[in-house]
Amino acid sequence: MSTAAPDFTEIAYDVDDRIATITLDRPDRLNAFTPTMARELIAAYDLADADEDVRAIVLTGRGRGFCAGADLGRGGSSFDPNDPQRAADRAETGTIGGVLRDGGGTVTMRMASLRTPVIAAVNGPAVGIGATMTLPADIRLAGESARFGFVFARRGLVPEAASSWFLPRIVGISQAMEWAATGRVFDAAEALSGKLVSRVLPDGDLLGTAQAIAREIAENTSAVSVALTRQLLWGMLGSPSPWDAHRADSAAIHHLGQSDDVAEGVTAFLEKRSPAFPDTVTGDYPEQVLPHWPQPPEDLSSP
């Protein structure tokens, strides 16, 4: 069964076999990023995370590119906060630290707060926000034709979408600075050697491989376990001590150890059959183990 969300104009959203596939859908513009696309991506993440039938999300692009970066249709004023159109586009996003929120950051922070795992299948160019929007994904795969670029310094900007937090944690500070300071575009092989992606695949195998990983999650694991694991692993990246992880792990095992999912998982293993996990993230997620991550700051006027 496949479910399509109505009213999306710049992305496509489909659910099939417990996998939500979100496709950037402006192929005539290499899926260039717009405020409309940002709003639709956030809405799609909301849909997927609220749907108990969705166990994994695959993010990809339509056509020959993943995302060529921000749509620069307004020329030199494309990033000017005093530009009337930009101000109008950002009016719904609220402010942070007394300034309008970065539009790419509204998308990546929503992805970061998901309880559903995300697999990015990067096909063709992924430049600027096209690269940074994938950083909170849990798994990044690249097709052989993929090209990446953190090109902001070549446009007079800095890396956005909270990538100054995500990128060094994924690839290390030295590699992050090389890519960000030069702003050069690099190929999938370099992305693999720099640990930005975990696999490079023939273009024709990319989406099928991403969906196969998503299906393995959907068919074999507890939704509550995966949701809590996702937030533990990301949340502990900023912890100063392994004792924080030990404390959270202990609380998680204490609460999950009493759950129907753990009883079913152990019983299914002993009986040599596939498990049928009954618990749901909506009803059984142990909120007391780890507060919903990431927590917005107090001065964030709009979530």
Report pLDDT for 76: 56
Report pLDDT for 95: 83
Question: 1: which residues sit within 8 A by CB, 6+ positions away?
Answer: 15, 16
Residue of 294 and 36 predicted with greater confidence = 36
Mean pLDDT of 90-100: 78
What digits encode the pLDDT tens for the residues 239-257?
899 999 999 999 999 999 9
13-17, 19-23, 81-85, 258-262, range with the lowest pLDDT: 81-85
Q: How does residue 189 score in pLDDT terms, banded at 50, 70 and 90?
A: very high
pTM assigned to the model: 0.92
Percentage of residues in the chain having pLDDT higher than 90: 80
Q: Which of 198, 195, 190 is nearest to 173 (CA)?
A: 195
* Token representation of residue 288: 């007391």
Q: How does residue 287 score in pLDDT terms, banded at 50, 70 and 90?
A: confident
Predicted confidence (pLDDT) at residue 300 exceeds the cutoff of 80: no
Predicted confidence (pLDDT) at residue 86 exceeds the cutoff of 80: no
Mean pLDDT of 183-187: 98
Percentage of residues in the chain having pLDDT higher than 70: 88
What digits encode the pLDDT tens for the residues 101-152?
899 999 999 999 999 999 999 999 999 999 999 999 999 999 999 999 999 9
Distance CA 108, CA 64 (A): 23
Q: How does residue 303 score in pLDDT terms, banded at 50, 70 and 90?
A: very low
* Token representation of residue 247: 């404390």
Residue of 299 and 39 predicted with greater confidence = 39
Q: How does residue 2 score in pLDDT terms, banded at 50, 70 and 90?
A: very low
Mean pLDDT of 208-226: 97
